[in-house]
Structure 1
């Protein structure tokens, strides 16, 4: 009887997850940590990876502005930029803002990855646009990467990752589940001849 009670309590506890949909979707990238494959050598202070997660979607890059709001890599094959969101996020949408003052064609043939898995590829035959949206992603992950599929500079005005912290079991549920599994092991031991 104790065994059935423990298993029932553990199973009930597992069902009490906090649903991610109950929380509002916010731009999780704002609190993430950005990195990139290289930094443009002409103005490294104005080219940092974290400029693409500063909340500013302005697409104007300037070497004369140390508080520039775009990242900028060197000229290389498969240049990339990524953000580690710091936790597993149930991702709804990803919005990528392009540079707009010049060179918009550089962000024309690129891919988007979530934890190393391809979730979107773009090769705009009609030319680049100021922003792209990857809607209804419906996946959970921690690292979002934007990567060129050819050789060029990569610069992004902003990358927004909208979603919520993924559901995790309440601490009590984990304890009860562990207790139930331990009870299962004890019952199995008693039944051995």
Structure 2
């Protein structure tokens, strides 16, 4: 016979998760009530259990207004615009040392001190790049990048974010979402629902070390409505 002992840490994690779920649900309802019509609010009430289920499954979603679409599309987009990074594969142009693995950018750890082994790093490559493989094409709404803070944050200046389905030139020829003009600690870049399986971050035109401490890719899960 085996027994499962619930630790205080697990209790705290469960409590934090529940608070996030409640906040996500309340915010979603508030936005729908504000932007929706009477029949759309009725739809929300009738389908509240679905809202709760999605909030439980995807608590780390982004809050966004999906144009002028009805509340049905808005609610699905809101709750299904989730961080896709956790299920992706990652690779990069080279490896600086054992601390700088490509997967460190999608490990869920926002620590921005390279010595803590939660950031990536290439060698000083010409046109260094990092790539996430989302396993299938997705609608990408935004990407949040956490930069290194213990030193050298300026290295990321001029980096490009590219999204698409091609692996030509290691994926670096795909359409561009944004350019990082002046890298800070953490910044979100809107990609407007660009479609793609691969998300690349590259520094074009110079020899540089590419270091990323976290890359959060927010997009539409399977079955969701891409309403951007």
Paired position in structure 2 for 1:69: 118
Paired position in structure 2 for 1:33: 89
Distance, in Å, in 1 between the alignment partners of 2:200 and 2:147 is 15
Q: Which structure is higher in RCO with an 8 Å CA cutoff and minimum separation 6?
A: 1
User: Once the 2 structures are TM-superposed, how far is the Cα of residue 133 of structure 1 from its aligned partner?
Assistant: 1.1
User: Once the 2 structures are TM-superposed, how far is the Cα of residue 35 of structure 1 from its aligned partner?
Assistant: 0.4
Distance, in Å, in 2 between the alignment partners of 1:22 and 1:144 is 21
Pair 1:143-2:192 in alignment: no
In the superposition, the TM-score normalised over structure 2's length comes to 0.57
The alpha-carbon distance between structure 1 residues 100 and 136, as it changes in their structure 2 partners (threshold 3 A), is same
Q: Could you say what secondary structure the match of 1:135 adopts?
A: strand
Give structure 2 stretches of 5+ with no counterpart: 1-72, 165-173
Pick aligned residue for 2:145 from 91, 96, 107: 96
User: Once the 2 structures are TM-superposed, how far is the Cα of residue 30 of structure 1 from its aligned partner?
Assistant: 1.1
Q: RMSD across aligned C-alpha pairs, in angstroms?
A: 2.0
Say whether the 8 Å CA contact 2:129–2:202 is kept in structure 1.
yes
Paired position in structure 1 for 2:103: 50
The count of residues paired between Structure 1 and Structure 2 equals 141
Name whichever structure is richer in strand by fraction: 1
Paired position in structure 2 for 1:122: 180
Distance, in Å, in 1 between the alignment partners of 2:218 and 2:163 is 13
Say whether the 8 Å CA contact 2:193–2:219 is kept in structure 1.
no
Say whether the 8 Å CA contact 2:178–2:191 is kept in structure 1.
no
Give structure 1 stretches of 5+ with no counterpart: 1-18, 169-193
Pair 1:84-2:137 in alignment: no
User: Once the 2 structures are TM-superposed, how far is the Cα of residue 112 of structure 1 from its aligned partner?
Assistant: 0.5
In the superposition, the TM-score normalised over structure 1's length comes to 0.67
Pick aligned residue for 1:133 from 188, 212, 223: 188
Q: Could you say what secondary structure the match of 1:156 adopts?
A: coil
User: Once the 2 structures are TM-superposed, how far is the Cα of residue 91 of structure 1 from its aligned partner?
Assistant: 1.4
Distance, in Å, in 2 between the alignment partners of 1:136 and 1:154 is 21
**TM superposition outliers: structure 1 runs of 4+ over 6 Å:** none
